[in-house]
Amino acid sequence: MARHPVLERRIGHRFKTPSLLSQALTHRSFGSPHNERLEFLGDGVIGCVVAEELYARFPDIAEGELSRLRASLVREAALAAVARAIGLSGFLRLGEGEVSSGGADRSSILADALEATYGAVFLDGGYEAVRTAVRHTFGEALGKLDPRQPAKDAKTSLQELLQGRKQKLPEYRVVATVGAAHKQVFEVECVAAGLGLRATGSGSSRRLAEQQAAENLLRQINA
């Protein structure tokens, strides 16, 4: 099984069993063994590591705030952002249909693959290895956390920005729904008509897709 030394460096873990990483990068559309079971494992592992990190970093804040901070880090959009930062899309193994529809940059696929990668690290090297990997890949996001800063989701931030510029509120519409009923992916378009800008986002629910579309539109405006 081929190694991925560049990706291993970006993750912060060298695999003793490279096939685990290959499986983590394999989407269901490509074939078996795919990454869905590793994704399940990684989801639990990253939640535990992030909870431990927050508990140690912020000894004076209450459980509710800790939960809010953890949710901000392990939500789909945040995981996809980390996946993009380490260039995970370039290593994914996708079926032809997913490749042609832009699946390599779909937030839900990237987030799932990142979780699967953490699951693979856990199986390969144990808890300390995955703890190191999460710290390595989430370093910037962890460093920017400020429990005193009230959380605003992307839709709220976009709405406030447009209101501040005396622009019309953004409009959202579902442009596509793909996948089986139990594993649907929604694609949503967000339009800021007054600025002549639009962006799309995807997610496992309409709400998540709208948030991703709003984030992508905010990036365009801020750029």
Give catalytic residue positions: 43, 115
Could you tell me which residues come within 8 angstroms of residue 165 by beta carbon, excluding any fewer than 6 positions away? Answer: 194, 195
* Separation CA 23–CA 19 (nearest Å): 6
Cβ–Cβ under 8 Å, residues 141 and 135: no
What pairs with residue 177 in β-bridges? 186
* Separation CA 74–CA 187 (nearest Å): 20
Start-to-end CA distance of the chain, whole Å, equals 41
